[in-house]
Structure 1
Amino acid sequence: QAPVVSPDGQLVAYTGYDWTRDTYITRKVYLMNIDGSNPRLASGAWDRQPSNLIWKSDGSGLYINSRTEGTGNLYFLPTTGPNAGTVRPITQGQHLLTVSDLSDDGTAVGVRTSFYAPPDVVAFAVGTPTAITQLTAVNDDILTGKVLGTVEEIWYPSTDGLQVQGWYITPPDFDSNRDYPMQLHIHGGPHGMYGVGFNFGWQWQAAQGYVVLYTNPRGSAGYGSAFGNEIMNAYPSKDYDDLMAGVDVLLDKGFVDPQNLFVTGCSGGGVLTAWVVGHTDRFAAASSNCPVIDWVSFVGTTDGATWYQNFQQLPWDDPSEHLRRSPLTYVGNVTTPTMLMTGVNDLRTPMPQTEQFYSALKLLKVPTAMVRFNNEWHGTSRTPSNFLRTQAYLKYWFEKYSRPPTTHTEQPQQP
């Protein structure tokens, strides 16, 4: 994939991987001669995802964008000399930086975002990468005078001792002595990665008085191949444990109301949301968006036929794994009011998946609603007005099913 010719025209760099049945695949960087001969691995044991390869002007190596543990930075891969094959960082920091081009004199341009700053165009010299200059201020007029919620990072242990990374946002007027309702947001993919970039929707929800939790459970990108393949032929499974452990961490901090926990996610996050409500009643309400509900009917109707390979057996040979991993199998356990939101043009998680869960919940008399988004494919937020609707529907649904807050009774002091 993504071949780029060296400045002297003698080599081609590209990304790829050997055939594997792994569901999470970290591509490698390879070199070959311009005539296609002598293909060889160039990135050694480096276990992160490379993108947008750019040759250094003297041909001595490649600049690479990559993301790890929620951050995104620029890296350099020497292809000659004693350090050939050893990837090293050029930039560092708690941001998501994507370099799109690099001039012969070493000036890089790209886009950067961080917890409190939406994406803007930046430039810097690769020789002095700490001096990054912001060239645009696209959202300053919107954010001026606004108080944003504070973002905090957490790491915590889960099942099998696996360490999981996450973050939470507190409301702008946060008081640690109060109890706040909490929203758990679950990413899709399932090999996606939440990170340190600005998120308007989460900041808006925090401004409505919610603590917003988002984590990278096992299977997420950015933590290496072994972590990504923790959910191979086992999704959903222990990733659910990772999510619940994250909720427990916030509850232990003492400022989250255990009676008012809410959960939502789209695509893979919609799958896990539907899985969550089939396995616990701890959440006051949920919104499962663009989900997969029944793997048997999904694998033959989605736009990616490779989903057949995400199971050990084909469904007509042995459907037991498909059924075991389907949220529909556990719908009889659901008591949580659950909304569903999906784009009418969705080819990835087609609308009948949403309709199956909605119909089952209605049959079981579990409070539910189905929102069908016009002018949307996979997801509900490509159209700006639909993005705003998505946030407003979440707020409405969660407020509708909020429980009376937990009351704390002070014990009389002993004489």
Structure 2
Amino acid sequence: MSTFDDLDAFVATRRQAGLALSPDGARLVTTVAELAPDGTKPVTSLWEVDPTGEAPARRLTRSAAGESAAAFAPDGDLLFTSRRPDPTVEAGDDEPAALWVLPRHGGEARQILAPGDGITSFEVARDAGHVVVTTTVPVGPAPEPPEGTQDTDEAPDAAAALRAARKKAGVSARLHDRFPVRFWDHDLGPGRPQIRVHDQLAADRLTEPVAVVDPAGPTERVRESAISPDGTRLAVAVDVRDPGGASGATGDRGDPAAVRVRLELRPTGGGETEVVADEAGADHEMPVVTPDGRWLLWIREEHAAPGRAPAQSLQARELAGGGTRTVVEAGRWAIRSVTGAADPDVVLVVADEQGHAPVFRVSVADGSVTRLTASGAYGDVVASPEGGAVYAMRATMDAPPVPVRLDPHTADQEPAVLRGATEIDDVPGTLTEVHATAEDGTPLRAWLALPAGASERSPAPLLLWVHGGPYMSWNAWSWRWCPWLMVAQGYAVLLPDPRLSTGYGRGFTDPATGAWGGLPYTDLMTVTDAALERPDLDASRTAAMGGSFGGYMANWIAGHTDRFDAIVTHASIWHLDGFVGTTDGSYHWVRQWGDPITDRDRYDEHSPHRFAAAITTPMLVIHGDKDYRVPIGEGLRLWYDLQRHGVESQFLYFPDENHWVLKPGDAKLWYRTVFAFLAHHVLGEKWERPALV
């Protein structure tokens, strides 16, 4: 029995993500998730990884609440967030995330900041040590202070008073005056995001903020920020209204709900705010300040339109002022991250490329590029301060994320793997590629995960697995959608990158934007045909599955071919108009599909629900009730339409899960149900209902 034959062992495997490097380059810290003692939830902790790769990883923190989001202060103290109770005060029932510090010389961690609504994220200025904290503050009128309250020290904080009054009255309602109201799996409000800049520790606590960033107007919202190394300036990305920027908008008012992102530069010591970039039809986000404090960099993303995918470019300007320059032109890459390097005028960029996500060394001065890595998908990139090394988390399609060390100058290198916290068996098969050519001459490719025993004498059944997004690529390990669990069951898993996938240029994404049922579908069928030419695959036993956009494609496939024996569709789009109107960011999709009233033909042509009567393939529908990206109504409508058309189908419903299925018990049940459904319909085995459902 390997890890991939035993769901309990697979779910219990430690998983690591994130890297923080100390100012002297001697300490590297990652966050590790593992099961709580009762096995019902994951708990995170901080672990130290030896940058030389010699010593094993060692655990630094331990609590029932867990710790995450590590960052070093200039003096080497380690900061992190946790919901653990402060041992010096009486704990409440539901502690919000607070900021803690673990002294560099050892000793107990201590809490240094605990805003009432908790900490969403934080950042530390590289040289000055300013701590930038994002939290939320309630909106609405505060209750009157208790009668007789006169002294200001006695009067309750207005935000705390409002929180307490809502709790006492049993109120959970939120009154919104702007779109959106939900995001992924949680409700927005009743507070608004606020950024606070603290300049130093005093008496084991952060001082009062020296700067507070609130939206300029009631319809604006701060999103993310980056502070200069000396702590004097803060770059802030702010959501603002973009009524004329939505390509599908109609009428004189455009789309009042649409949003774009403006980039601002604010002095932390007071002074005028400078608008660095703001334009209709584009977002300016993901700000980064280089370690030497010279350059402010950010991503400019052109909004999508029918026939035009979102296109990213890397922008830069000197922090001291001057004109903006384009470092990487629009559409060249789908950029995942930008990180400052030790060398002046150099940044490290991670972007999708041909089924990988390499690290690129990019010159801000002249735009020259060196690809540092030959294979794999990278994230959490950090550069050593002396310039001798780059550290990152590296994953591949057949190996989970591990910490690695790179040389900051060598092209197409294989990294030095460091000793992390994840221990897992080798995958139960081999990884290869399938290549094909679309009817229009476009090259297509896919990963193929083959079980160890597949051969011409014993061909494996094929499972077509479509990725989500749609603007993404099969290029990295996934704990949640792990093909190797299916390989352990005897299936060959085909993982294609059809049109709309990133890493192949704008010509690969533009033609299918706002036309998902066209080229993506024919590409998937073309790659499937090419794979089934292999003698070690069994064309008489096939299935298809996917989630999110992949679920849309699974539904589309079901209505357009009966070639598969079974189809599994997770968190899927069924009624395109209904999805666009109820998802958490409707305006994003209106840009791609157009107005659902005036552009009716596009919606009707590409909505899977219109082909329900053509479906004959058995289907397993899976959906979580807390999914706000693809709301539960899509799964319910699909299930009803399948039932009323007499399609053999089952509905696996998770009342407490979101777009993903994250609870360990639910994740195991997800896989066991998929195993049973495919075994029955593809392998011809007797149906056995999974236990507990």
Is TM more than 0.5 here? yes
Aligned pairs (5 A) from 1:18-29: 18=302, 21=305, 24-29=309-314
Contact 2:335 2:349 in 1 (8 A): yes
Aligned pairs (5 A) from 1:113-124: 113-124=395-406
Aligned pairs (5 A) from 1:40-189: 40-44=325-329, 47-80=332-365, 84-93=366-375, 95-106=376-387, 107-128=389-410, 130=413, 132-140=415-423, 142-143=424-425, 148-189=428-469
Question: Kindly tell me: are residues 326 and 115 of structure 1, through their superposed partners in 2, closer, same or farther at Cα, counting changes over 3 Å?
Answer: closer
Contact 2:303 2:311 in 1 (8 A): no
Aligned pairs (5 A) from 1:239-388: 239-305=520-586, 306-312=588-594, 314-380=595-661, 382-388=662-668
Structure 1: runs of 5 or more not aligned: 406-415
Question: Kindly tell me: are residues 335 and 147 of structure 1, through their superposed partners in 2, closer, same or farther at Cα, counting changes over 3 Å?
Answer: same
TM superposition shift of 1:131: 6.0
Question: Kindly tell me: are residues 131 and 235 of structure 1, through their superposed partners in 2, closer, same or farther at Cα, counting changes over 3 Å?
Answer: closer
**Matched AA of 2:674:** L
Q: Distance in 1 between matches of 2:304 and 2:485?
A: 42
Q: Distance in 1 between matches of 2:676 and 2:378?
A: 34
Structure 2: runs of 5 or more not aligned: 1-284, 686-693
Name the structure with the higher strand share: 2
Residue in structure 2 matched with residue 202 of structure 1 by the alignment:
483
Q: Distance in 1 between matches of 2:295 and 2:427?
A: 51
Partner SS state of residue 17, structure 1: strand
Q: Per-residue displacement from partner, 1:4-44 (whole Å, max 9, x unpaired)? A: 22444343122213455365323111112325541121224
Contact 1:259 1:282 in 2 (8 A): no
TM superposition shift of 1:69: 1.0
Question: Kindly tell me: are residues 139 and 35 of structure 1, through their superposed partners in 2, closer, same or farther at Cα, counting changes over 3 Å?
Answer: closer
Partner SS state of residue 252, structure 1: coil
Q: Distance in 2 between matches of 1:404 and 1:371?
A: 21
Greater shift, 84-93 or 196-205, is seen at: 196-205
TM superposition shift of 1:70: 1.2
Greater shift, 271-280 or 298-307, is seen at: 298-307
Q: Distance in 2 between matches of 1:308 and 1:147?
A: 41
Contact 1:74 1:99 in 2 (8 A): no
Q: Distance in 2 between matches of 1:57 and 1:127?
A: 12
Greater shift, 36-45 or 322-331, is seen at: 36-45
Contact 1:119 1:198 in 2 (8 A): no
Question: Kindly tell me: are residues 204 and 9 of structure 1, through their superposed partners in 2, closer, same or farther at Cα, counting changes over 3 Å?
Answer: closer
Partner SS state of residue 482, structure 2: helix
1:17 and 2:309 aligned: no
Q: Per-residue displacement from partner, 1:359-379 (whole Å, max 9, x unpaired)? A: 111111111111112332112
Contact 2:377 2:394 in 1 (8 A): yes
Question: Kindly tell me: are residues 23 and 291 of structure 1, through their superposed partners in 2, closer, same or farther at Cα, counting changes over 3 Å?
Answer: farther
Residue in structure 1 matched with residue 60 of structure 2 by the alignment:
none
Question: Kindly tell me: are residues 377 and 45 of structure 1, through their superposed partners in 2, closer, same or farther at Cα, counting changes over 3 Å?
Answer: closer
RMSD: 2.2
Contact 2:434 2:531 in 1 (8 A): no
Partner SS state of residue 70, structure 1: coil
**Matched AA of 1:220:** S
TM superposition shift of 1:189: 1.0
**Matched AA of 1:311:** W
Q: Distance in 2 between matches of 1:391 and 1:63?
A: 37
Identify which of 317, 326, 351 aligns with 1:32.
317
TM superposition shift of 1:195: 1.5
Contact 1:114 1:198 in 2 (8 A): no
TM superposition shift of 1:147: 5.8
Question: Kindly tell me: are residues 163 and 404 of structure 1, through their superposed partners in 2, closer, same or farther at Cα, counting changes over 3 Å?
Answer: same
Q: Per-residue displacement from partner, 1:35-63 (whole Å, max 9, x unpaired)? A: 55411212247701234322333422212
Runs of 4+ more than 4 Å apart: none
Greater CA radius of gyration, 1 or 2? Answer: 2
Question: Kindly tell me: are residues 147 and 328 of structure 1, through their superposed partners in 2, closer, same or farther at Cα, counting changes over 3 Å?
Answer: closer
**Matched AA of 1:86:** S
Q: Distance in 2 between matches of 1:119 and 1:6?
A: 26
Q: Distance in 2 between matches of 1:70 and 1:234?
A: 23
Q: Distance in 2 between matches of 1:185 and 1:79?
A: 39
Contact 2:373 2:414 in 1 (8 A): no
Contact 2:462 2:537 in 1 (8 A): yes
Partner SS state of residue 561, structure 2: coil
TM superposition shift of 1:99: 4.4
Q: How many aligned residue pairs are there? A: 396
TM superposition shift of 1:137: 4.2
Q: Under a length normalisation based on structure 2, what TM-score does the superposition of the two structures give?
A: 0.54
**Matched AA of 1:257:** D
Greater shift, 334-343 or 104-113, is seen at: 104-113
Q: Distance in 2 between matches of 1:385 and 1:309?
A: 38
* Percent of matched pairs sharing the same residue: 24
Q: Distance in 1 between matches of 2:390 and 2:316?
A: 23
Contact 1:44 1:86 in 2 (8 A): no
Q: Distance in 2 between matches of 1:320 and 1:147?
A: 46
Contact 1:46 1:86 in 2 (8 A): no
Residue in structure 1 matched with residue 57 of structure 2 by the alignment:
none
Contact 1:193 1:222 in 2 (8 A): yes
TM superposition shift of 1:133: 2.5
Residue in structure 2 matched with residue 408 of structure 1 by the alignment:
none
Question: Kindly tell me: are residues 332 and 154 of structure 1, through their superposed partners in 2, closer, same or farther at Cα, counting changes over 3 Å?
Answer: same
Contact 1:233 1:311 in 2 (8 A): yes
1:191 and 2:471 aligned: yes
